Structure 1
Amino acid sequence: MRRYLRTILLVLLCTVIAIECIKLEEKYCWQQLEYAWPSESVKEQAIQSGKYKVEDNLPLGLDVWKDKLFITVPRWKSGVASSLNYVTISDEKTPILHPYPSWEANTLPDGVQSQSEATAGGRAAAPKAVQSNVGALSNSSIISTFRIRVDECDRLWVMDTGLADILGNPMQIMPPALVIFDLRTNELIRRYPLPDDHVKEDTFFANVIVDVGKKDDCDNAYAYVPDLGAYGLVVYSFKENKSWRVKHNFFHFDPLSGDYNIGGVNFQWTDGIFGLALGRAETDGSRKVYFHALSSTKEFEVPNRVLQNESYSTGSDAYFDYKLVGDRGSNGQSSAEFFDDEAGVLFYTQVNKDGVGCWNAKKPYNPDTQGLVDSDSDALVFPNDLKVDANRNLWVLSDRMPAFLYKSLNYTEFNYRILKGKVDDLILGTPCV
């Protein structure tokens, strides 16, 4: 009997250890990014002209559609080869990036490429408008994008800032715009430049989420675009092809949460509303829109029906429809979040903790009810973006961005990683089950 009990305890112990050891799997890693150039001569010309400086290329955002994994490379500096790219999921450990939808769409015309050296610091000063050779661009052109979103209707939504060489000699080459592609044909569906009155002095559009009411009603879609610099939210109706700007006090940063210590770099940011996620559909079809400022540890929510009503959401009556969900606790700043409908779990990055957190929406929102599905002081230094794909895999991109912005990266090490894991496996043993 004693031996039998000992065997049971041993099995239980091994089960607990196995559960706690389930971590994100490293899918891809890069020391530096390389591209699928049309030819070696084109690559050499880009290097000679300064249009390609390998050290200027840092991956930031990602999303998945079938066998394509999309990766964004913002034009922080002047030598970015292509801002919107993809790799094939079956690619080797260090794949080269393929521009999407084409090289032409991601190539800046001659005369608008800055040769200035990038400078350390936060967001750029007011960018200069660029006139020369802009006519060479098309509606499919992607100047610089941070985050993207694949929707249920096989469309890729791109928030193109239109801004190049952000940290050096910033240039507003095209107006900020939503650019939407049909992933089945790789053709442009629409480009929607944001109206001038949506753009404020400190505006910085770096994220987009898409709210499709029903998969068989793809025209009835809304995009929510946070303005982390001027503390607003742009709501875009695909059916009406129009947008409106919403403001609220909850969009601002928390002055007590603006200090960061990541990968040996200390810095301060004042970024407001940034992370957004759609909650589970209610019986009436509505959803909660979860959101938080980057420089904050608090999570908020607002019904999507509020945002989708232009006259109501832009008036003062909507103020009390916004609710505080809770607080992630000390050092709980987060850059991105995504809600998994089936598990009812919200995943979010934990940039100051080199990790990824989770919260079950059935529970109160506080540090005791939240889990850390993975943390790694090497592989997860600045987890920048995450998504859950159609097969319920969680994908996470980490990129050591603070060192890229304020110091320098060691290119003999792996600096950029994409990791993945099964949602249900990752939340085992956490308060998120």
Structure 2
Amino acid sequence: MKLIYLVLLLCQVCYIQSGTVYGGTNNIKTREPLFAWRQIDFTDDNELNEENIYFEPPPNQIRSANSNNNGGVHDDYIQYNNVPMGATRWQGKIFVTLPRRRTGVPATLTYIVANKTRRSNIDVPLIPYPDLEVNRLRTRPVKGLTSLVSVYRTTADECDRLWMVDTGLLEYPDNRQQVQQPAIVVIDLNRNRIIHRYELPDNVLTNSSTLASIAVDVRPGSCEDTFAYIPDVSGNAIIVYNLRERRSWKFTHNSFHQDPIGGEFNLNGLEFEWDDGIFSIALGPIDRYGYRTAYYHAMASTHQFSVSTRVLRNQTNSERSFHGNDFVHLGDKGERQQTSSSVFDLDTGVLFYDLVNNNALGCWNTRKPFSSQNHVVLFQDNERFIYPSDITDDREGNIWVMTNTMPFFNYRSLNPQEINFRIWAFNVRELVSNTNCA
């Protein structure tokens, strides 16, 4: 028995039990999600009245979207079709996104109050943000009103702004509709209002562009001096946006594509193939020259790459056909280590990432070599941590993860009587203590 323990300790790997944290000599700690939903309900903008659910699911959950005469779309609420994708915490709010991939989604950007005392944190109704009117689905623009069509994930920056890409696309099966041009949208979180919208020009997009996340790079002391980096999952590109100059350009590179043998997934016996390219960008600390390292990966791959924002911020570099050593291959995380979202913790230097093929959360301390022993699975739960779709930090030493069982929604079905969607919160230092990520 002592020999077995010694081997496990040296390898920094041990068998994962359901709902446990592990890695190295870390004591096993049971984890519970902070919020959980069987199905999604909505309430009005009165934070004190979460019992006032005003969207009632129609009989048999079957309705269709019908245009009205005011430029709006009467998209009936179909409870089953509302699948949350992203989670971002800012102060007392947790923002939850619901991209419009099916009919019947009344709001694509919502929030819940994080620190409110409730009888239960199960099936807490979502509040449209900044209000329902902005989230209302329309077939044509309304003068003086910025509407949100479909948002996958959000990012809160140090200037108290919430960034997102509105794809403008209704991804209804067999009936995709580009309602408006894809755009970067920025909301002032202190005033709860949209303060900036930039439509992405056609020359940075393709017919198949999929814009599912955004990384934000703010120069210290100057909120206007901000760059945003958008991975184009299907277009295999990084779109760069200069806020001060209101300009954008894109980079293409072979490392943005899927790995030919990395697209096979098996989630609890559900087998499928995806070809998603560059999926997530996580930004490291500012170096002495004022730039950051951007860590990125394709979803259908187990490889990790990086590039300096010094390269990305220079539009001239995007016009080169050969990039030399600009884009760096860091290594291969290993078999079944396909990753959706990732986030960099500036305090510890740890890169956290969602392991979709393992129902797990992993990490690598970037101050250590990129090697198998330095990649740690911190948490795994094969029953409750199914398909981690987003991971963000709150600048207070915590990371937040959304798990949403989406592949089962896509290829099989969800049981409305069971918990399907969860938001998890982890304290960074507690999570990595006594592991090779510490």
Q: What is the TM-score of this pair, normalised by structure 1?
A: 0.87
SS at match of 2:223: coil
Amino acid at match of 2:85: L
* CA separation of 1:315 and 1:166: change in aligned 2, threshold 3 A: farther
* CA separation of 1:44 and 1:19: change in aligned 2, threshold 3 A: closer
**Does structure 1 residue 59 correspond to structure 2 residue 84?**
yes
* CA separation of 1:288 and 1:24: change in aligned 2, threshold 3 A: farther
- Give the distance between the partners of 1:252 and 1:398, measured in 2 at CA: 25
Q: Is the 8 A contact 2:225 2:243 kept in 1?
A: yes
Q: Is the 8 A contact 1:234 1:243 kept in 2?
A: yes
- Give the distance between the partners of 1:395 and 1:27, measured in 2 at CA: 10
Alpha-carbon deviation of 1:25?
Answer: 3.6
* CA separation of 1:274 and 1:151: change in aligned 2, threshold 3 A: same
Pick from 132, 138, 149: which aligns with 1:103? Answer: 132
Structure with greater proportional helix content: 1
Pick from 380, 385, 400: which aligns with 2:405? Answer: 400
Q: Which residue of 1 aligns with 2:109?
A: 84
Q: Is the 8 A contact 1:105 1:138 kept in 2?
A: no
Q: Which residue of 1 aligns with 2:3?
A: none
Amino acid at match of 2:365: N
SS at match of 2:265: strand
Alpha-carbon deviation of 1:364?
Answer: 1.6
Deviations 1:88-115 (A, max 9, x none): 1024412110111110111113xx4xxx
Q: Which residue of 2 aligns with 1:173?
A: 179
**Does structure 1 residue 71 correspond to structure 2 residue 96?**
yes
Amino acid at match of 1:66: Q
SS at match of 1:381: coil
Alpha-carbon deviation of 1:165?
Answer: 3.6
Residues 260-339 of structure 1 aligned to structure 2 (within 5 Å): 260-339=265-344
Q: Is the 8 A contact 1:36 1:96 kept in 2?
A: yes
Q: Which residue of 2 aligns with 1:26?
A: 33
Deviations 1:371-421 (A, max 9, x none): 111000112110111112121111111000100111100111100000111
Q: Which residue of 1 aligns with 2:11?
A: none
Amino acid at match of 2:37: W
Q: Which runs of 5+ in 1 are unaligned?
A: 1-15, 113-133
- Give the distance between the partners of 2:180 and 2:172, measured in 1 at CA: 14
Alpha-carbon deviation of 1:42?
Answer: 6.3
Amino acid at match of 1:253: Q
* CA separation of 1:415 and 1:138: change in aligned 2, threshold 3 A: farther
Amino acid at match of 1:147: R
Q: Which residue of 1 aligns with 2:236?
A: 231
- Give the distance between the partners of 1:232 and 1:136, measured in 2 at CA: 31
Q: Which residue of 2 aligns with 1:212?
A: 218
Deviations 1:329-369 (A, max 9, x none): 00010000000011110000000111000000011223221
SS at match of 2:141: helix
- Give the distance between the partners of 1:233 and 1:342, measured in 2 at CA: 26
Alpha-carbon deviation of 1:140?
Answer: 2.7
Q: Which residue of 1 aligns with 2:195?
A: 189
* CA separation of 1:339 and 1:268: change in aligned 2, threshold 3 A: same
- Give the distance between the partners of 1:168 and 1:368, measured in 2 at CA: 45
- Give the distance between the partners of 2:186 and 2:148, measured in 1 at CA: 11
Amino acid at match of 1:194: L
* CA separation of 1:308 and 1:102: change in aligned 2, threshold 3 A: same
Alpha-carbon deviation of 1:166?
Answer: 3.3
Pick from 399, 419, 425: which aligns with 1:420? Answer: 425
SS at match of 2:419: coil
Q: Which residue of 2 aligns with 1:162?
A: 168
- Give the distance between the partners of 2:84 and 2:338, measured in 1 at CA: 20
Deviations 1:226-262 (A, max 9, x none): 1110101100000001100111111000010000011
Q: Is the 8 A contact 1:286 1:303 kept in 2?
A: yes
Alpha-carbon deviation of 1:51?
Answer: 2.0
Q: Percent identity of the aligned residues?
A: 36
Amino acid at match of 2:362: G
Q: Which moved more, 1:17-26 or 1:99-108?
A: 17-26
- Give the distance between the partners of 1:23 and 1:394, measured in 2 at CA: 17
SS at match of 2:357: helix
Q: Which runs of 5+ in 2 are unaligned?
A: 1-22, 46-51, 64-73
Alpha-carbon deviation of 1:263?
Answer: 3.4
Q: What is the TM-score of this pair, normalised by structure 2?
A: 0.86
**Size of the alignment, in residue pairs?**
394
Q: Is the 8 A contact 1:263 1:400 kept in 2?
A: no
Q: Which moved more, 1:377-386 or 1:318-327?
A: 318-327
